[in-house]
Structure 1
Amino acid sequence: MDTQAVHDDFERARATFRTLLDSATNDELRHRSNGTRWTNRQLLFHMLLGFLIMRALLALTKIVARLPSWAGRGWARLLNAGTKPFDVVNFAGSWLGGSVMPRRAMVVLCDRTIAALHRRLDRETDSSLAKGMPYPTRWDPFFREFMTVADLYRFPVRHFDFHREQLSLS
């Protein structure tokens, strides 16, 4: 894995997030995004959420990777079966977070989260990056049936870039 490329992608997303929030008017942030039920502000929070969940996903992957393969497959099947409740929580969490969190707090949280991901990535070894587990493919279009820690580090920027196209900001 080209860790420098991942670091560069993190920084590009961080700078873009800051620019989007700093340059948007309050009215633009209240407008509906393209192709979602969220406003632009709520969608921006959802884009941030892709980075926020990384710590949990990385820890979960390292734990499940130690279990027998059947346990990981069973876990992924169980999570796939819970897609509807996940979708409700995912929507409501982004709706609430994007409705109440001040812009400045979103920027600070993004900066801190990406800085933490940079530090964590720098501590990874080839061996730790190769660990992986089955994932619930119905939860996100970027989840594959099996994902390594290296794959996970690429996930939040892919998620960010996908949703960036749905913003209706000028």
Structure 2
Amino acid sequence: MKPTEIRAEMRRAQAEFEQMTRTANPQAMRRATNGTRWTNRQLLFHMVLGYGVVRTLLPLVRALGRLGHSTGFARVLDATRAPFHVVNYLGARCAGEVVSPRAMTLLLARLVNGLDRSLTTDADRGRLGLAMHFPTTWDPYFRSTMTVLDVYHFGTQHFDHHRRQLTLDG
């Protein structure tokens, strides 16, 4: 994908998220999702968290991409997948009950705006091709090696995957 396409898909996801949180009633937010143990509200928080993961991963990919020593790091992360999945599940479950849909929308806007700016900077500085090894057992969209550009794309892949699991419309 090109940076312009990634930017457009992030903005599309942001607009969809805002629409969903604005139109979903409290009953729909409490409804179970399709294929997860979360409610719609909890899954919505998890979807926002995906963009937070992108923001967290980018400095790591830039640094390890320059150093070229990320295979061992990816193996260590793969070995810790069980506690990661527990924290991931419980974090979204708890935060999804505490953080309001309006606050989630604002957080997503802040994340997307920041990612948009850093995507421009990474493109200008020629960093989009830096790559590192990834823990492939953490997420179905993590590949064994990912570039900075791939990590930007991951946020919306993750969003779209979970968007299909929402049951806001009944």
| TM-score, structure 2 as length reference | 0.95
The answer (yes or no) to whether the contact 2:42–2:95 under 8 Å persists in 1 is yes
Alignment partner, residue 46 of structure 1: 46
1:57-98 deviations in whole A, cap 9, x for unaligned?
0011111123343xx111001000000000001001111111
Alignment partner, residue 21 of structure 1: 21
Give distance in 2, aligned partners of 1:2 and 1:74.
29
- What amino acid is aligned across from residue 57 of structure 2 in structure 1? L
Give distance in 2, aligned partners of 1:11 and 1:161.
13
How many residue pairs are counted as aligned between the two chains?
168
Structure 2 spans left out of the alignment, 5+ residues: none
CA shift, 1:54, in A, is 1.4
Structure 1 spans left out of the alignment, 5+ residues: none
Give distance in 1, aligned partners of 2:147 and 2:131.
4
Query: Which runs of structure 2 are paired with 1:104-115 in the superposition (5 Å)?
Result: 104-115=102-113
Alignment partner, residue 120 of structure 1: 118
Give distance in 1, aligned partners of 2:155 and 2:54.
8
Query: Which runs of structure 2 are paired with 1:48-127 in the superposition (5 Å)?
Result: 48-69=48-69, 72-125=70-123, 127=126
Give distance in 2, aligned partners of 1:122 and 1:91.
32
Alignment partner, residue 5 of structure 1: 5
Q: Which runs of 4+ in 1 moved over 6 A?
A: none
- What amino acid is aligned across from residue 31 of structure 2 in structure 1? H
- What amino acid is aligned across from residue 138 of structure 1 in structure 2? T
Give distance in 2, aligned partners of 1:68 and 1:17.
36
Q: Secondary structure at the match of 2:146?
A: strand
- What amino acid is aligned across from residue 90 of structure 1 in structure 2? N
- What amino acid is aligned across from residue 151 of structure 1 in structure 2? D
Alignment partner, residue 137 of structure 2: 138
Give distance in 2, aligned partners of 1:2 and 1:102.
33
Give distance in 2, aligned partners of 1:148 and 1:133.
7
- What amino acid is aligned across from residue 112 of structure 1 in structure 2? R
Alignment partner, residue 163 of structure 2: 164
- What amino acid is aligned across from residue 40 of structure 1 in structure 2? N
Give distance in 2, aligned partners of 1:56 and 1:167.
25
The percent of aligned pairs where both chains have the same amino acid is 43
The answer (yes or no) to whether the contact 2:52–2:111 under 8 Å persists in 1 is yes
